[in-house]
Amino acid sequence: MSMILYVDAHYVSPYAFSCWVALKEKQLPFEARPLQIATQDHHDPIYRQRSLTGRIPAFAHDDFWLSESSAIVEYLDELFPSPHLMPKESKQRARARQVMAWIRSDLMALREERPSATMFYTRPTKPLSEKGEAAANNLLRVASTLIADGKNQLFDDWSIADADLAFVLHRLIANGYDVPEKIRHFATTQWQRQSIRSWVEQARIEYQPY
């Protein structure tokens, strides 16, 4: 069985991160193949044909290719059901999917002004704009609602939604934003999980903007 995860060469993509953590949680052996976005490695015709969308990450399982992080995570969870990446209870599982979909589709101003590269490379010099502040406040509002007092995870058991939420919260935490203690505790606790540390502690090449 061959498993290859195509990731961004700088290891900053939140979507590649989610797939990486999923594979590590499943304890599945895989090869990581970095692609340099600055040189448009992902536009290679063969890669585009096999991944279908030409986006990063992509996952190759023997001769089956899949892109889009949420699809990859759910594929892994269905094919290798233990340990679970998603909550077992249906309403909690639906909520986890909601959180993951929201993180991927909203908060655009925050993602633009605090790109994930700022978590691992050079910190930003400009304060958040009005739109950036609004996105940050919305993120903290949702996180405060989701995270119960004294809890280090969103649901009865850990899920990949915990990792995804912690990642987006670190766009603020890593850049010195004032985050309420309950939320900070959740995010920093998640950041110590072994599967997540293996991504955070990756040796990174010099950053090339794209």
So what's the pLDDT on residue 209? Answer: 80
What average pLDDT does the segment 22-51 reach? 91
pLDDT of 15 higher than 90: yes
Cα 70–Cα 205–Cα 71 angle in degrees, nearest 5:
5
pLDDT of 41 higher than 80: no
What are the pLDDT digits (tens) for 109-126?
A: 999 999 999 999 999 989
So what's the pLDDT on residue 210? Answer: 74
pLDDT of 107 higher than 90: yes
Neighbour-count burial for 176-199, b at 16+ CB within 10 Å, e otherwise:
ebebeeebbebbeebbebebbeeb
3-83+196-200 placed in CATH 3.40.30.10: yes
User: Can you list the alpha helix ranges (DSSP code H) found in 27-159?
Assistant: 45-51, 69-79, 90-105, 108-113, 117-120, 130-146
| Percent of residues, the chain, with pLDDT higher than 70 | 100
- Dmax (CA) for the chain in angstroms is 50
Do 3-83+196-200 and 90-193 agree at the fold level? Answer: no
What is the band of 39 on the pLDDT scale with cuts at 50, 70, 90? confident
Report the mean per-residue pLDDT for the chain. Answer: 95
**What DSSP state is assigned to residue 149?**
T
**What DSSP state is assigned to residue 84?**
-
CATH number for domain 90-193, candidates 3.90.79.10, 1.10.1060.10, 1.20.1050.10, 3.40.1160.10: 1.20.1050.10
Radius of gyration of the chain (CA): 17
Contact by Cβ (8 Å): 79, 144: no
What are the pLDDT digits (tens) for 152-164?
A: 999 999 999 999 9
pLDDT of 63 higher than 90: yes
So what's the pLDDT on residue 110? Answer: 97
| Residue whose C-alpha is closest to residue 56's, from 84, 36, 73 | 36
pLDDT of 2 higher than 80: yes
Q: Write down the residue that tokens 């989610």 correspond to.
A: 18
Q: Residue 70, class by beta-carbon neighbours within 10 Å (0-12 exposed, 13-18 middle, 19+ buried)?
A: middle
Q: Give dist(CA 163, CA 179) in Å, integer.
A: 17
Q: What is the pTM of this model?
A: 0.95
What are the pLDDT digits (tens) for 133-151?
A: 999 999 999 999 999 998 8
Kindly list the domain boundaries of the chain, sorted by start residue: 3-83+196-200, 90-193
Report in angstroms the alpha-carbon separations of 122 from 115, 166, 182. 10, 20, 27
